[in-house]
Structures are given as structure tokens and as C-alpha cells.
Structure 1
Amino acid sequence: MHTIISYLILLLTGMVMHGQNTVEVSIRDFDNDNGHVRVGLYNDESKFLAETYKAVKKEIVNKQATVTFIDIPDGIYAISCYHDEDDNGQLNMLLGMIPSEPYGTSNNARGFFGPPKWKDAKFEVKDGELRKLDINM
């Protein structure tokens, strides 16, 4: 009986943990350690760069930072980050449309005459994966 209960516990634990992924983002090449980096995880193309699924504010040390998102369900995601040098909580813009603070996205996607596109920044996680991403500022 003890063996059956142990087996059921292991089976249930495996089922609960299945689909819970981790996304680790290493951000490098900051110009300085001023302020913080703000990192957004997006799970919906229609909300990309507008509304985050999860967000983290992290200190920059030696011109780099690492952010980890845990318990992420299987799916398609994208990352966007910016160096909030003045710590005002927003990406500063020149003329309301050109970023004046460094920014980056997953897959190091860059916009051409506009913000980066979802299709260039998206990535998939599934099956309990640990996904490591590098973003260069």
C-alpha cells in the first residue's frame, strides 16, 4: 500500500510540474549602471509593448543584469526591456516616438522605422523548459 501511495504522489507531482517553464534573460552591454532595467514578458501579440504578462525591475551591476521568470505556462512569448536610467518608470522618448533610453527585445529584434515586431521577438516554451535568452542593449 505504501508503494502505491508513493507512486501516486510522484505521478501527481509530475503532472503539476509539467508545463511550468522558466525563462532566464541575460541583458548585457549597458552604457552604465545608473537606474534599473525594466523587463516585460508578453504572452499576447495584440498587447505586445503595451501590456505585460509579467514585469520585473532589476538593478544593473557591472553593465549587466539577469532576470528570471518562473512558473510560465507553455506558450508563445516575447521579451522587451529598457534601461530606465533616470528611474522614472517609463521609457523616455524624443518627439514622442524615438526612444532616448537604450532598449532591447528577445531575439535582439529591432524595429525599422518603428518598434520591434512580435513576429521577430517571439519564442516558444513548453514541456518544463528552461529557456535562456541573451539581449544586447
Structure 2
Amino acid sequence: MKLLPIFLSFFCGILSLNAQNNIEVEITDFESDKGQAMIGLYNTENSFLKKEFKGKQLKIQDKKVMFTFADIPEGNYAIMVFHDEDKNNELTTNFLGIPKENYGASNNAPSKFGPPKWKDAKFEVKNGKTLKQKIMLN
């Protein structure tokens, strides 16, 4: 009977080490409900804007989108989203490569003379928490 409290304490400790996190994302400032929102979650600087860790196409309602990335392991992440008005599943740009569709990044990272930088967009999730990110489109 003396081992039961020790076992329970040990078991609960192991569960907390493997706790998964959630990232709640609210995206605002869509110009219309036309098209879809494309959202990508990135887990490394090298993959940022190249290969998503997780991604989703979302319906826009009342010029905003709410979405939760669930069961995310602890670590550093960044989010990129754009308004895919023409539903071609890619960010449409002009002949100079300047985006024609609105976009935004976690931490509302600035995009001066190019896309947002990982260092500005990254955030950390840990301890089995729910982290909230509010992204305003440019």
C-alpha cells in the first residue's frame, strides 16, 4: 500500500513530460469571405515558408478565421497564413513577386522587403498549455 502513492506520483510525472500543447489562432482583417484561408504551422527555421509541419485550408466567415492546432509537441513554431482568394492553393504574386493576396504571420511579424523572418514570427509552446496567436493580415 505504501507503493501506491509513489507509483501514482511517478505515473503523473511521466504524463506531464509528454503533455501536448494547443495553439489557438485567430486571423482577422480579411477583405472578404471570398476564397479560403491557407494556414501553415512551421517547426524549424529551415522549413519556414517551405515545408509545413501542419497545414490547413479554412473557410472564412465574417472576414475572420478561428482554428486550433491540437496535440503539438513542445518546441518553437511559427505560423504563416494568406487569403487564397482565387483558390489556387498558392500565394498569387505580380510579375515582381510582390503578393497580390493578403498574408500575415505569427506575432504579426513584419514583412519589409520580403517575407517575414523566422526570428520575428517564432514562439514557444510548452508545459501542455494552450497558446493564443492573433494574426492580422497585411
Q: Distance in 2 between matches of 1:19 and 1:105?
A: 26
Gapped runs of 5+ residues in structure 1?
none
Please give the TM-score of this superposition, normalised by the length of structure 1.
0.89
Offset of residue 14 of structure 1: 6.0
Gapped runs of 5+ residues in structure 2?
none
Range moving further from structure 2, 93-102 or 127-136:
93-102
1:107 aligns with 2:107: yes
Q: Distance in 2 between matches of 1:65 and 1:86?
A: 17
Q: Distance in 1 between matches of 2:68 and 2:116?
A: 22
- 1:29-68 pair list within 5 angstroms: 29-68=29-68
Offset of residue 4 of structure 1: 3.8
Q: Distance in 2 between matches of 1:33 and 1:97?
A: 24
Offset of residue 81 of structure 1: 0.2
Q: Distance in 2 between matches of 1:59 and 1:13?
A: 39
Please give the TM-score of this superposition, normalised by the length of structure 2.
0.89
Q: After TM superposition, which residue ranges in structure 1, 4 or more long, deviate above 4 angstroms?
A: none
Percent identity over paired residues: 46
Aligned pair count? 135
Q: Distance in 1 between matches of 2:30 and 2:59?
A: 12
Residue of structure 2 in register with 1:86 after alignment:
86
Q: Distance in 2 between matches of 1:13 and 1:58?
A: 37
Q: Distance in 2 between matches of 1:129 and 1:25?
A: 14
Q: Verify the 8 A CA contact 1:77 1:124 in the aligned structure 2.
A: yes
CA RMSD of aligned residues (A): 2.2
Offset of residue 101 of structure 1: 0.2
